[in-house]
Structure formats: C-alpha cells, structure tokens
Amino acid sequence: MSGIEGKVIAVTGAGSGIGRATALLLARRGAKLALGGRRVDRLEAVADDIVATGGEAVCIATDVTVRADLTALVALAHERYGRLDVLVSNAGIGPVSRFDALCVDDWDAMIDVNVKGVLYGIAAALPMFRQQGTGHFINVVSTSGLKIVPGQGVYAATKNAVRTINEALRQEAGDRLRVTGISPGFVQTDFADSMTDATMRAAIQKRMGEIAISPDAIARAIAFAIEQPIDVDVGDIVIRPTAQD
C-alpha cells in the first residue's frame, strides 16, 4: 500500500510536540491512528481533535519503558482497525548533563526510554509485520548523535544506539519491511522539561527560543517516508533549523 490514506499508524509520545503534530497531520491525510503516551489527558485531547475533524483515532496510556504497554498499543491498533502498517517510536527524554554531575538516574532513564522503548516497540510490532508481510518502523532519533557536544554524551549515545538498531533491523527486514530514522534538531517542544540539570535546561531552552523550528516540520518528514511506494525505503532524514550549527 502506497500513500497514507487508509494506513493504520501507531505513534508513541503522541500527547505533545512531534508526536502530536505527526498524529494530526497523518489523520488529515487519511490515516487511522493508535496513540500512545503517558499523559492520558493530552492523548485524549489529540484523539478528540482528530475525531472532531472527521478522522479516526484511539488512544491508550503507554509508558515505553514497560514492554506490556507497547504490546497493548499494537494490540489496540489491530483490534480496532485489523492491522498495523506503521509504528512511529517518537517517545524520548533528554535530561542532559555533564558526566561530572554523576546524574546516574538520568542516564538510566534515557537508556530505558530512548533505547529500550524502541526495542520494546520492535518486539511488539515485528511479529505482526511479519504476519502481514508488510510494515514500517519509524524511529525518531536526534541530531545530537551526529554532532557530539559536552553535556550530551549519554543522550547522544542512546540516539546512536538506535541508529545502530535501525541499520541492523533494516538489513534483517527483507524486501517488504521498511525502517526509517528521523533526526530532528532544535524543535519547539517541551523537550527541556525532563532536564534535571538547571544550567543545561536553561541553555537548551534559550537556544530553542532562538532557533527552534515547528514540530510540523518533523511531521512532514515522517509523512514523506510513509507515503513512498512499498519498494522505497527512506533510511535517514535529518531536519534541523537553518541556523543550527
């Protein structure tokens, strides 16, 4: 199936930012959405917006660090719509800090959400994709892994781990499954809210205020990857503000 209309697409982290923008855009393009996220009130608001404009969407509380939650999200899509065509693993956190700060709990949290969350999504969706004979993994990564800077070592490492996962999965996927990595730069989201280091949080928020682009830009890139014909696999897309170093 080419295009977006009629496809069943699950999105994690769909309550705000890139996930919300992606869900709304894909719904306008005719997709059927299964939305996952930790903040149920925000998820329900996104689903309500989609339904109010004639689209189709369901939602379920989803903590990507809990494997059963990803299984439930995929199952919801299948139960409601009969299949799953695309899984957008967008949920992520970035409590960045310098190594000397020894924010080990933050390191653990980033590994759990940014790496294990993606793996749990693969574990949930891959059997269904294999059974259907088609499927598309879209994993949101970051430009932080492309340019390594002080303070973002662990965060960048988690994102580069996902790049490795993407490439290995792509090679194993065969000629009917697709794998895409999306690497945003500074985007107008609540990304900094997860940062426990006040200095780093202030610096990131300042830079975002200066140059960040709309989440809609990332949503359009995700839509571009999805709408390609089945024999076209868009491997990696980097999207950053023109003003970003």
Active site residues: 155
Tell me the three state secondary structure of residue 90.
coil
Amino acid identity, residue 4? I
Give the 3-state secondary structure of residue 139.
strand
64, 165, 189, 231 from 124: Cα distances, Å = 11, 15, 27, 23
- Per DSSP, the residues of 40-75 read HHHHHHHHHHHHHTT-EEEEEE--TTSHHHHHHHHH
Q: Compute φ and ψ for 35, nearest 5 degrees.
A: -105, 135
Compute the half-sphere exposure of residue 225: CA atoms within 13 Å on the CB side of its CA: 30
Torsion angle, CA of 141/179/69/57, rounded to 10 degrees? Answer: 100
Q: Is 230 exposed, middle or buried (0-12, 13-18, 19+ CB in 10 A)?
A: middle
C-alpha torsion angle, residues 109, 158, 181, 143 (rounded to 10):
110
